[in-house]
Structure 1
């Protein structure tokens, strides 16, 4: 199956030549990615990768990027973090209709991971909510959102000290 996903990185201080970076990425197997180099010391790769699973697609892309850019630090895998407008576009509905669904189902609608003037949700949570209600969704999108979420959670968990992880795990499980 073909999976679409994005990987964003903070580049190492000595990686300053966009043309050389793109060349190394292509040589490492990232020729199935559109590379964005418009922000200094950052890079975004929009992949369309063939694999048996979304997890396999993301893992192989992560390995390819690591070979090409060993000093780069992953900052985000997507599709994961989304606003209501993003989800409305994906589901071909209006933002107002999506907001109405959210307000009419306060007990079951997934809570945002960040609340504020611009709330942010995890796409996998929202897609699962819609799938439970019989909405037809693209299997590749569902799978890619779940795999990207796992990559971001693993990245974030790696920033916890072992003591904090041990102390928190029993409280949140």
Structure 2
């Protein structure tokens, strides 16, 4: 069963290749005509996507590979979002105010007021369970479901990027010695 995932890929673009118009064209050339493209910070490209995928990590990495194939040489995947989120981010997705979330039991923040998205998702799932004698909270969890679903695979990919287990230029697994691990397709081609 495939479920939609809503996430953002953030790429580092080589300084000499940072042309917002060409970058937007490259995103669309990769087949993501509905993507939201952010080029407001020189050297960074943010691409917000909604894709269908059975395995979240595979779907996100596949989207990153497709984009890297059309983006300028030397482009690197920097991070996948959502991973660490603010209460304002969560509130916007749930169609509530940040203050209403502050009145609820929330997991402890990890750093600088940011929360792990998978912990937020767990708290929201618990809050939506019916409790006799209580009203269900007015949280639009359905609206945020695709975004919340993308959180755990985004965190795993970011961890693998940080540990150099994924090459940020190819988004392929890296072997123990820092060399891209050979796939069966690569071995068959030699």
Indicate the TM-score class for this superposition, using the shorter chain for normalisation: 0.7 to 0.9
Change in CA separation of 1:77 and 1:157 when aligned onto 2, cut-off 3 Å = same
Structure 1 residues 21-66: Cα deviation after superposition (integer angstroms, max 9, x where no partner) = 2223322333342222222111111112233343332121111122
Higher radius of gyration, 1 or 2: 2
Change in CA separation of 1:71 and 1:134 when aligned onto 2, cut-off 3 Å = same
CA contact (8 A) 1:124 1:146 kept: yes
CA contact (8 A) 1:81 1:123 kept: yes
Query: Post-superposition, which runs of at least 4 consecutive aligned residues in structure 1 deviate over 4 A?
Result: none
Partners of 1:57 and 1:32 in 2: CA distance: 16
Q: CA RMSD in A?
A: 2.4
Tell me how many residue pairs correspond in the alignment. 151
Judging by fraction of residues, say which structure has more helix: 1
Is 1:114 the counterpart of 2:108 in the alignment?
no
For 1:168, the equivalent position in structure 2 comes to none
Unpaired runs of 5+ residues, structure 2, are 130-138, 166-175, 177-190
Is 1:145 the counterpart of 2:154 in the alignment?
no
TM-score (normalised: structure 2): 0.67
Quote the offset at 1:79 in angstroms. 1.8
